Structure 1
Amino acid sequence: MTLATLRDVLQPAASEGYAIAGLVVLGWEDALAYVEAAEETGFPIILQAGPGCRMHTPVPVLGAMFRQLAEQASVPVVCHIDHARSAEECRTGIDSGFTSVMFDGSELPIEENVALTAQICREAKRAGVSVEGEVGFVGYAEGKSSAMTSVEEAALFDRESGADAMAISIGNVHLQTDADARIDMQRLREIEAATTLPLVLHGGSGIPAETRRELAATSRISKFNIGTELRQAFGAALRRSLADNPASFDRIELLKPVIPAIRQEAVKVISGLAA
């Protein structure tokens, strides 16, 4: 069995100068492709079920699917709930077999964020489940703007939340289709000096691959969430499949070519963080 938690994979990454890919799952085909890519590279991965995925597929179904893939994999696989907005969402994930949950209290006052994260951590750790939190707000390319992480708030969260990892906002943005995010290196170094937890960057697709590689090797950022560039690979491969098979109506046959295309892109992502 290769089920893992964030503690299992992020602490070695933070100390040894590499990072783990948190890969956004939307269905069976991409989840399978990600695990195949992880096995090809020999590195752990984090399978992530975000809010959109959870609206589309019931959490207990996702938990069973993720665990099936993880238990058959030859590398560690973390089964992770991403961007849960309540303790109840986290509990549902824990009860459904996930090994890790992210409580997103980033839009709450820092004291409330810390207190709720600490409550969730106590419950999660009794079940052997790891917890990620967020300080500052990572915005969206076509939505609400980011609020950069305060060094003082990050230090408070680090000391008092009990979390296993902390997501921060330092220029990274969700759902960017172009990799042109500008990371505030000075703020990163200040946060690193004031904290001890492994750090996480959401919106990793918007960060140039060479910058991700540099940050993985030279900072305590040990997890990058990657979704958009993998969805782009999925969409391009599906359009080719539909064009190549205009008479087909078989969902399984149409989606088969998508899996190797996503796997190839995921190999690039995983390898780029571990080089």
Structure 2
Amino acid sequence: MTLVTLAQALQPALTGGYAVAGLVTLGWEDMRAYVAAAEAEGCPVILQAGPSCRAHTPLPILGKMFRHLAENASIPVVAHLDHGYTFEECQEALDSGFTSLMYDGSRKPLNQNIDETARIAEMAHNAGISCEGEIGFVGYADGENSAGTDPEEAAKFAAESGVDAMAISVGNVHLQQDKEGGLDMQRIRAIEALTTVPLVIHGGSGVPVAQRTELATSSKICKFNIGTELRMAFGAALREAVNADPSRFDRVTILKETHDPLVAATRNVLRAFGPVNKG
């Protein structure tokens, strides 16, 4: 069994000069491909269940799916709740076998965010698992604007919340479909100068690949969340499979043809985060 906590995946990355991919899952086909790609690259992987995934599949089922994949994998796998918004949701994820809880209080005032995240972190640590928090709201493409992380607030949040990883807002945006959203290096350096906790970039699909590699190998950013980029790869493969034979109707047959293209796209993503065989 290679199921691990977020801290167990990120602490070696922090000292070893690489980053681990937090891959946003929507169903069995993509999570299976993500593990296959990580095995091929010899690196750990974080399987993430975000709000849209949870709206489609209940947390207890997702926990079993993640754990099944981890138990049969040769590389470390983290079962991670992405953007948990309530204590009850985080508790359900813990009860469902997740090994990492991300509580998102980034829209709330600093002290409230700290207090609520600290409660989730305490719950997680008492159960022997990890907690990620977010300081500085990360916005959405064509939606809410980001609020950049203040370095002093980040230092306070890291020290008082007890998180194992801290997501920051440094020019990154969720759901960005191109790779033209370069990050604010000056703000990143200011944050990491005041903190020791592994840092996380949400909206990693919008970060240029060269900058992903630079930050993975030379900063405290140890986790990049990648969703949109791989959803686009899956969608393109699915569209091609459907259009190849309009008479086909069996979804198992059609979905099989998404596997290899998604594995290939995922391997390309994983290679950007540092040397292979780091798991």
Question: 2:111 aligned with 1:95, yes or no?
Answer: no
Q: Distance in 2 between matches of 1:245 and 1:253?
A: 11
Following superposition of structure 1 onto structure 2, how do residues 56-67 of structure 1 map, counting pairs within 5 Å?
56-67=56-67
Q: Distance in 2 between matches of 1:274 and 1:261?
A: 22
Relative to the length of structure 1, the TM-score reads 0.99
Q: Distance in 2 between matches of 1:179 and 1:14?
A: 24
Q: Structure 1, residues 157-182: CA drift from partner, whole Å, max 9, x if none?
A: 11111100000000000000010112
Residue 175 of structure 1: aligned partner? 175
Residue 165 of structure 2: aligned partner? 165
Q: Distance in 2 between matches of 1:255 and 1:154?
A: 43
Q: Distance in 2 between matches of 1:134 and 1:58?
A: 24
For the 8 Å contact 2:121–2:162, the answer to whether it is kept is yes
> Structure 1 counterpart of 2:164, which letter?
D
Relative to the length of structure 2, the TM-score reads 0.98
SS at match of 1:43: coil
Residue 246 of structure 1: aligned partner? 246
For the 8 Å contact 1:47–1:66, the answer to whether it is kept is yes
Residue 136 of structure 2: aligned partner? 136
Identity between Structure 1 and Structure 2 (%): 59
Gaps of 5+ in 2: none
Residue 234 of structure 1: aligned partner? 234
How many angstroms does 1:128 deviate by?
Answer: 1.1
> After TM superposition, what 4+ stretches of structure 1 lie above 3 angstroms from structure 2?
none
Residue 69 of structure 1: aligned partner? 69
How many angstroms does 1:126 deviate by?
Answer: 1.3
SS at match of 2:273: helix
Q: Structure 1, residues 92-130: CA drift from partner, whole Å, max 9, x if none?
A: 100000000100000011101111111111111111110
For the 8 Å contact 1:245–1:254, the answer to whether it is kept is no
For the 8 Å contact 2:182–2:211, the answer to whether it is kept is no
Q: Distance in 2 between matches of 1:260 and 1:129?
A: 32
For the 8 Å contact 1:63–1:97, the answer to whether it is kept is yes
Q: Distance in 1 between matches of 2:182 and 2:236?
A: 27
Residue-pair matches, total: 275
Residue 213 of structure 1: aligned partner? 213
Q: Structure 1, residues 204-261: CA drift from partner, whole Å, max 9, x if none?
A: 0000111100110110000000001101100110111011121111010010010111
Following superposition of structure 1 onto structure 2, how do residues 7-156 of structure 1 map, counting pairs within 5 Å?
7-156=7-156
> Structure 2 counterpart of 1:213, which letter?
T
Q: Distance in 1 between matches of 2:123 and 2:5?
A: 15
SS at match of 1:236: helix
How many angstroms does 1:152 deviate by?
Answer: 1.2
Q: Distance in 2 between matches of 1:171 and 1:74?
A: 35
